[in-house]
């Protein structure tokens, strides 16, 4: 996989973490595949419908990301692995997680088909 594609995929992942994107149903619909599925860091599993109902009305947490790795799983299928720390509004504690996203290219559009956030201890 070339460096340009790797950086483009990281940029897409970061784009979905932007509060303005998370609050925009049209953007979410564009970037989340209809068969999107997630295992959240809370332990709850949900699909695109639940994300579309919940995210636009949520106050986005402050998110810091680290250690991106990108690998091609198959032609037009990419996995992104990274670490994230989240701090929700009006909360002092920080939530740390290991994250994995799978993106699929369909009709010249990359869409997120799977995401998992696994809670972990604070990063050193």
| Residue 26 counted as domain residue | yes
Measured in whole angstroms, the distance separating CA 15 from the mean position of its chain's CA atoms is 9
pTM: 0.92
In a domain, 124, yes or no: no
Domain-embedded: residue 89 = yes
Q: Contact at 8 Å (CB) between 22 and 56?
A: yes
Query: What's 28's domain CATH number?
Result: 3.10.450.50
Q: Is residue 63 part of a domain?
A: yes
Q: How many domains does the chain have?
A: 1
Q: Which domain holds residue 105?
A: 3-119
pLDDT, tens digit only, all 124 positions of the chain: 899 999 999 999 999 999 999 999 999 999 999 999 999 877 889 999 999 999 888 888 899 999 999 999 999 999 999 999 998 888 788 999 999 999 999 999 999 999 999 999 998 7
Q: Is residue 32 part of a domain?
A: yes
Domain membership of residue 94 (yes or no) is yes
In a domain, residue 112? The reply is yes
Q: What is the three-state SS of 52-103?
A: HHHHHHCCCCEEEEEEEEEEEEECCEEEEEEEEEEECCCCCCCEEEEEEEEE
């Amino acid at each position: 996989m070339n460096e340009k594609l790797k950086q483009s995929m990281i940029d897409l992942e970061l784009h979905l973490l932007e509060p303005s994107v998370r609050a925009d149903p049209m953007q979410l619909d564009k970037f989340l595949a209809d068969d999107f599925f997630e295992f959240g860091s809370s332990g709850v599993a949900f699909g695109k419908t639940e994300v579309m109902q919940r995210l636009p009305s949520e106050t986005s947490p402050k998110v810091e990301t680290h250690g991106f790795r990108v690998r091609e799983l198959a032609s037009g299928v990419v996995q992104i692995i990274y670490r994230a720390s989240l701090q929700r509004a009006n909360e002092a504690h920080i939530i740390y997680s290991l994250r994995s996203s799978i993106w699929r290219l369909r009709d010249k559009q990359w869409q997120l088909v799977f995401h998992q956030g696994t809670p972990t201890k604070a990063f050193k």
